[in-house]
A and B are shown apart, each in its own frame.
Chain A
Amino acid sequence: MPFEWSKVGAPPAQDELEISVMGPGFGESVVCHFGANEWFIVDSCIEPGQARPAPLSYLEALGVDPATAVKIVLATHWDQDHVRGLGDVVQACKIADFCCAKAFVNEEFQFYMDEMSIGTRNRGVKDIQHAFDAVWDSGRTCRQAVPGKVLLRRPTITGGCVELLALSPSDKEFDLFLQEIASQRPGALQPLRQAVARSPNLASVVSLLVLDDCAVLLGADMERRPEADRGWNSVVREGKNLFLKRAGVVKVPHHGSENAHDDGMWNELLEPAPVGVIAPFGKGPVTGRPPTVSDIARIRAKTCKLYVTAPHATAKPPARSPAVTRGLRDSNIKTRSLARSLGLVRLRKPRSAGWAAEIFGAAYIA
């Protein structure tokens, strides 16, 4: 069912903080208002059945002009569920700086991106390449996200300051990501292929928004690793070193998946019982798609309120002729539908008040 953008209502007040997480069950984007009609966008996703990036549709539905109001577009990592429509977002947000992991602007990744765009249908790099082209064409700045770097700092109309701080990826992840990219670069005579991100999550940009009396942790797709210099271990260490304010809201990392659960994150970077928002990941074997029932139970126990942007896509394949069904079954080929619908979780915090949540579309309270 198409998302009813007309229902999202009015924009936030000038001094109101807003975090809106949207996700169609596969893909996610966060839109944030940090005061005085200034916004930033983290990642991009597409409303199912539409070509328009959901964050742009949302801002336009609020009556906000992305061309002037959006100051930063942050791409957390190169994964299809985070970069769909990203190029359109960067192009539409005409004065926004583009922020991305340091590895994105490395020569190795840039070479890979252009190599894989040879041929006409390579969705895998098209969006991220389009984003870089938009930055390049408009002469804007590309800001590399490294741990501890302030991506955005603005005075607020209340006399305070808002900061968006990057907490990852670590140097180790930077190296490993580029090694993997190097191994995937094509050579002459090899058949054209689709660019597929294999393990980009650990190289994603975790960020913390700090404004006056509150903070929001945007967990991207960061995962847990046993090594001290990788995954959440390195993020938590960075956060502790910087004496960061603990966040009262968390965009739960990696769709609530168990492999992203880190006690250090919950205990060191977040307030007790924060508000949690999950954007699910509707791909892969149906039983393992995060968040699973046990993922939700685990995260619910850690949060005061937990919201999910959309239920998982139906596992039922589309109706098709018996001949096709039998043919697939006889060959032991199993297919899974990727049909889905968009949901939006919106958290608004007026000055000196608590968070108020609203859900739209397919979103639900877990």
Chain B
Amino acid sequence: MNSVAKYIVPEISIDAREYGISDAFSLVATKAQAATAGTMYVQSSTTDSAVPSAYGTQFRFRDRPPNIRAAALDAQGGNLDLETIDAVSNVSPDFFLLGRTAPPVQQPRGNTSAVVAEWEGFVTRIDEEAIEARLVGLTGEGVAGEVEEATIPKSEIRDADQQLVAVGGLFRLCISYEKTPAGERRKYSSVVFRRLPAYRQRDLDAAHERTRARLNALRVE
């Protein structure tokens, strides 16, 4: 996964379980893949190890032929921002049906995991060794729908996400069980920060236009 993702790794933040996939995934495309084959890879956001091959599934953009997509990217000069936008906005609704309609795949022979509780949260304060966060429970007994505050040690945040830790940063907190092929059960938590969606220049420009219009019309005393 790392070898193909070395150019860029724009992720599409969706909760794949909403689309019938059993784990919390993010979708990862590379520059080369998005430009040519339009191949999407699936990476679990609850474990570091899951890769698409384990599920035997590859997703493809269906809404735009690869050659047109490549031409569009060329026209943008390979701009990372716009490329990321396209990766988000060009996913056809049909794409999300793949998870539901895909034939059963063979279970991986490695470790399996199950999420027992999950929260969505954002950082409200950063201390030296921990972050303060607001959590909204998503799944789990006594968790779903509850609003809580939390103190989370920074050591619980994976190294790759440390640079994303900022006040207001959005993340998911999962408590999961992992089961090894030998039957051993291991409990662990994971804190995964969102990389995407990201602010897009055109959205920021639109926001600025809206601000100017409001300020011009606002009667201020």
B183 nearest CB across to chain A (Å) = 17
B 123-179 contacts with A by CB, 8 A: 123-124, 132, 135, 140-143, 146-153, 156, 164, 166-170, 173, 175-177
Which residues of B lie under 8 Å from residue A321 when comparing CB positions? 116-117, 140-142
> In the bound complex, do residue A111 and residue B148 qualify as a contact, i.e. CB atoms below 8 Å apart?
no
Given the interface pairs A188-B201, A331-B153, A335-B148, the reply to whether A196 lies near B124 with Cβ below 8 Å is yes
Question: How many of A's residues come within 8 Å of B, CB to CB?
Answer: 56
Among B26-34, B61-69, B92-100, B210-218, the stretch that binds chain A is B210-218
Query: Is there a chain B Cβ closer than 8 Å to A139's Cβ?
Result: yes
> In the bound complex, do residue A323 and residue B215 qualify as a contact, i.e. CB atoms below 8 Å apart?
no
Closest to B132 in A: A284
Query: Is there a chain A Cβ closer than 8 Å to B219's Cβ?
Result: yes
Among B44-52, B70-78, B187-195, the stretch that binds chain A is B187-195
Q: Mark A95-126, 1 if CB is under 8 A from B, else 0.
A: 00000000001010011011101110000100
B 105-133 contacts with A by CB, 8 A: 116-117, 122-124, 132
Given the interface pairs A115-B199, A115-B204, A186-B199, the reply to whether A327 lies near B218 with Cβ below 8 Å is no
Closest to A331 in B: B189
Which residues of B lie under 8 Å from residue A332 when comparing CB positions? 153, 156
> In the bound complex, do residue B146 and residue A337 qualify as a contact, i.e. CB atoms below 8 Å apart?
yes
Query: Is there a chain B Cβ closer than 8 Å to A50's Cβ?
Result: no
Query: Is there a chain A Cβ closer than 8 Å to B102's Cβ?
Result: no
Query: Is there a chain B Cβ closer than 8 Å to A193's Cβ?
Result: yes
> In the bound complex, do residue A330 and residue B207 qualify as a contact, i.e. CB atoms below 8 Å apart?
no
A 322-350 contacts with B by CB, 8 A: 323-324, 326-328, 330-338
Query: Is there a chain B Cβ closer than 8 Å to A312's Cβ?
Result: no
> In the bound complex, do residue A324 and residue B214 qualify as a contact, i.e. CB atoms below 8 Å apart?
no
**B residues with CB within 8 A of A:** 80-81, 84, 116-117, 122-124, 132, 135, 140-143, 146-153, 156, 164, 166-170, 173, 175-177, 187-189, 193-201, 203-204, 207-208, 210-211, 214-215, 217-221
Show 30 A/B contacts (Cβ-Cβ < 8 Å), sorted by A.
A110-B215, A111-B208, A113-B211, A114-B208, A114-B210, A114-B211, A119-B197, A124-B168, A186-B204, A189-B80, A189-B198, A191-B195, A191-B197, A191-B198, A192-B196, A192-B199, A198-B167, A320-B141, A323-B175, A324-B117, A327-B116, A327-B117, A327-B176, A328-B189, A331-B153, A331-B156, A333-B189, A334-B150, A334-B151, A336-B149
